[in-house]
Structure 1
């Protein structure tokens, strides 16, 4: 099938054989990561519908199951109790009705009075014009069936560029936030729920005084998390044109602020800061966990292709799950990784017999450092920090791509504590107890050597995720 045919294709049980064949290709790809979640087959996109319910975590991800490019977006479904042992239940939400015929886009989960519901954007293309609707879904795991209810068509002034509903409450009021474009810039839109009439009513285009360079042309994936009686953490993704920002025109940001009494405006009390310092992370979603708040994101962006794995018909992963906390109005991220640590612990690279197993590295830095990951052909990823600027050098990898995998520099200021997690084609680094984080994609085939001048505290080999795969396609009804 060509790109257009896949975008128009509905998914049913007759597709299981093809999906299984593509799953096997992916599982044998040398760049497939071992401790990161990704789709059964095809392209992985945003984390969606994340929640903790009745003792289990429900982790969904957007998935184009047939291809390594964006087409036929659906929701793949994982369950876990411990972030080590997972069960993949199949494609839980797939295009099936006129309002989502061209894709089930991003969304979130909400639990109220013991009932778990999902909310997402249904995408429809008619004569190259986008039409979007907000849809509610209930997922029946036992019967492998998803029930859909179209809530409303998104506002006309967005021209279909309105998406990613996120539900939150303040007291007795329940709100839905969506990211959108008003044709001139990116905006946040709010709806409020009428409990008496059991319907969502449009509330406002939320007034937020963002710096001009952060307005962009599209807001995506908003999250509002209450951190005390009056202050909220606002997180969002910001899409800009290449003319606005030649590098990193996809940014993930957060700020602390508070609403006015009518929830018509949101006043920032901190400057917006990056959630991730690099271009390989986008669309984070925050959710309540058993003991606080957690977050993950997509290791990619919509202007980025993962051509290194296209022959095996897969692309991208979700980032590591993080615990997140706000301390003195600063967001700190801590990788949820202890459950994967083996008993193989080392105190230097020289003592490490490394054969491309996932690694956790804890280190300190006095002033500057370098880190190299390379193979026997000296194909490598090289990171160099001079005390202020981190250089990510990707020009000597096995697979190079100056458009999708450029070398780049970021300003980190001072770095003292460093936590590094290395997988087959992703490295994530948490600086200064998670005050700053960078996620980096790299493609070095069969890496077997590490070199660095960091002061190593410990190196721990990590066990891969244990995933039980079920190739199910849930029945869709409305």
Structure 2
């Protein structure tokens, strides 16, 4: 348990950071990250009192997965943010070893925060409690204590990450779990008042042997008949074109029968991101939009990220709007992010060439690229940092898209491969920040998120093809930095 002096020091350090103009070259300009400490899962995402409330897991005292608090920033436009602050502290008997992930619920003009209290006893024995707190308009939080005490029989204490949704004026809570056979599951609870919860049972799916733990479950309805079950399974077997990270985040689409506690007729699991660095996404609704943020990072991979040397680790994705089409989820950057654009720095339309070279003045940019694929089979896009580079390659014949960061000196390396149909056009929307890239393919059908840590600030992009190609569109904008203000 930490004393008030420690939290006053955090506040002082935050003030000093935002007063200073000194920044590490890997500090990102438009991705949410903290001045110090370790950030991971987005939590409690809500639209409340005309502002987006973005909570997140935060250890403000170091770059280890310990002492998890909930931090908070708020924004009306994803351009100007409030300065971060700690809102949930691990200081009670039911959460003394961490305020773990959870959700937000606006009810009776209050914002309720549901989370997992983590308690560790002797021999690292775990206890998990589902808890609730009230976030007040003045920014203070009142903990209300435990609403679900421990896991039901048949399940281990890996029982966490409550997510609440409503159906027919009834509240339902989905919780990630692990059964005694060490297989991942999700448990469903029901409540009339969002306070007293009754277990309905295990969510029945066709995924009987699908990893050893399911974290961060989400449910969202896409029409009257179908819903999307988003979760982060751990322990899937790696294949050539999928499940290439140590853990995954993805979804299935089916029909949710709440009486039978069953997800019926669901399709196969599809990953939400085919890159290196996305985990534990959470979805919330605002103005009929389903908006998702994720953690740019990966469990059990901390050694791959060199920023810990400078006292900070990890970021959150830009907000993505989820759209349902042809039984697939498309992810599109939130429209408000266009307000980050400065005047268009480059526009190319209809140019026919073999290769194209682009020198960027800043690693804070958005690029829209549309290549006509009718006369070419192979295209390569190389992001050069002098003697380092990241390679994005697409083979039209095999429909294989590859992203390779093996030629970077620092940070995680390796290759990620996935299937992509782009027989007529290859359409990319690329967001480049100082140490993060998010690449959206074919209007958001696929996405790759990755961190990179170049030794040089210079960035040159080379587009190379096996034949002459028509650049239908190449647009470049440099992006403003988001601001954090009191």
TM-score (structure 2 length as normaliser): 0.87
More strand by share: 2
Q: 1:392 to 1:274 in 2, by over 3 A?
A: same
| Inter-partner Cα distance in structure 2 for 1:428 and 1:26 | 26
The structure 2 residue matched to 1:315, chosen from 294, 313, 328, is: 313
The structure 2 residue matched to 1:426, chosen from 416, 420, 436, is: 436
| Inter-partner Cα distance in structure 2 for 1:451 and 1:153 | 56
Alignment of 1:392 onto 2:403: yes
Q: 1:180 to 1:62 in 2, by over 3 A?
A: same
Q: 1:408 to 1:93 in 2, by over 3 A?
A: same
Conserved in 2, the CA contact under 8 Å of 1:257 and 1:267? Answer: yes
Structure 1, 449-458 or 77-86: larger mean CA deviation: 449-458
Q: 1:384 to 1:276 in 2, by over 3 A?
A: same
Q: 1:27 to 1:200 in 2, by over 3 A?
A: farther
The structure 2 residue matched to 1:379, chosen from 379, 382, 388, is: 388
The structure 2 residue matched to 1:406, chosen from 411, 414, 418, is: 414
Q: 1:304 to 1:268 in 2, by over 3 A?
A: farther
Deviation for aligned residue 1:40: 3.7
Matches of residues 189-338 of structure 1 in structure 2 within 5 Å? Answer: 189-195=187-193, 198-210=195-207, 212=209, 215-240=210-235, 247-260=244-257, 262-305=259-302, 306-336=304-334, 337-338=337-338
Contiguous gaps of at least 5 residues in structure 2: 349-354, 466-470
Q: 1:315 to 1:216 in 2, by over 3 A?
A: same
| CA deviation string 1:343-394 (max 9, x = no partner) | 1330269796623331111111324322222234x22222222232222222
| Inter-partner Cα distance in structure 2 for 1:416 and 1:238 | 30
2:82 is matched with which residue?
Answer: 87
2:146 is matched with which residue?
Answer: 150
Conserved in 2, the CA contact under 8 Å of 1:93 and 1:146? Answer: no
Q: 1:277 to 1:126 in 2, by over 3 A?
A: same
| Inter-partner Cα distance in structure 1 for 2:434 and 2:83 | 21
Count of matched residue pairs: 454
Greater relative contact order, per chain length (Cα 8 Å cut-off, separation 6+): 1
The structure 1 residue matched to 2:125, chosen from 129, 132, 137, is: 129
Alignment of 1:467 onto 2:481: no
Conserved in 2, the CA contact under 8 Å of 1:52 and 1:290? Answer: no
TM-score (structure 1 length as normaliser): 0.88
| Inter-partner Cα distance in structure 1 for 2:358 and 2:243 | 40
Q: 1:109 aligns to what SS in structure 2? A: strand
2:101 is matched with which residue?
Answer: 106
1:5 is matched with which residue?
Answer: none
The structure 1 residue matched to 2:367, chosen from 350, 361, 377, is: 361
1:457 is matched with which residue?
Answer: 474
| Inter-partner Cα distance in structure 2 for 1:170 and 1:164 | 20
**How large is the RMSD of aligned CA atoms in angstroms?**
2.6
Q: 1:158 to 1:316 in 2, by over 3 A?
A: same
